[in-house]
Amino acid sequence: MLKIAQLLKLDVPLILASKSPRRKKLLEQLGLSFQVIPSDFAEENHSINYLPEDYVQKLSLEKALDVARKIKNSSIVIGADTIVLLNGKIINKPLDDKDAKKILKKLSNKTHTVLTGLSFVKVPEQKFITTYQKTLVSFRKLDEDEIDAYIKSGSPLDKAGAYGIQDDFGALFVSHIQGCYYNIVGLPLELFYQTLKEFIKSNYGNRKHL
């Protein structure tokens, strides 16, 4: 079996700073060994001060740094954050069922953007690298009974944009995508691999804070 860790020349443990079951599953798909330590970083909406691409990278980096400060042993912490944009405005996770319905109606028959920020922090040096991935997602026109049924499933409440493309039902809303599918799920795997490879090869070169 192909060992991704060997290709990467990975010689320190990986820590995922996220409780997302979807990101955990995607990393497992790569056959990587890692520990999950969710970040306690409190997201405050300061997006107005940043371009969306910078904002999502900042969130992913802050999550990774929050966990990195608690770790003493040599390791690499992975931070990620996904946001949905419609007409340039960020659509967060729905507050409740009513909000989820409002969001899905907005996305119906339109194309929106999914941005995922990705950060790696090397412990104990606190050196890091950040990047992001963008995917365009087009929804077909949604019927109200379909939206109501999806909301009753409970699936929309923990997801940016109130849907998950990996869900049996949520996938039926998407007519087509332009870009990385895994980015919509929450962790762009090709970008993950290439960025981590670059980070290790550069001997954990540092980047400036966003």
Q: Considering 81, 97, 167, 168, which one is annotated as catalytic?
A: 81
Q: What is the DSSP string of 25-83?
A: HHHHHTT--EEE----------GGGS-HHHHHHHHHHHHHHHHHTT--SSEEEEEEEEE
167 is a catalytic site residue? no
Q: Which residue is it, tokens 């940043």?
A: 50
* Angle at the Cα of 178 from the Cα atoms of 173 and 181, rounded to 5 degrees: 70
Q: In sequence order, what are the residues at sequence separation of 6 or more whose Cβ sits closer than 8 angstroms to the Cβ of residue 49? A: none
Active site residues: 81
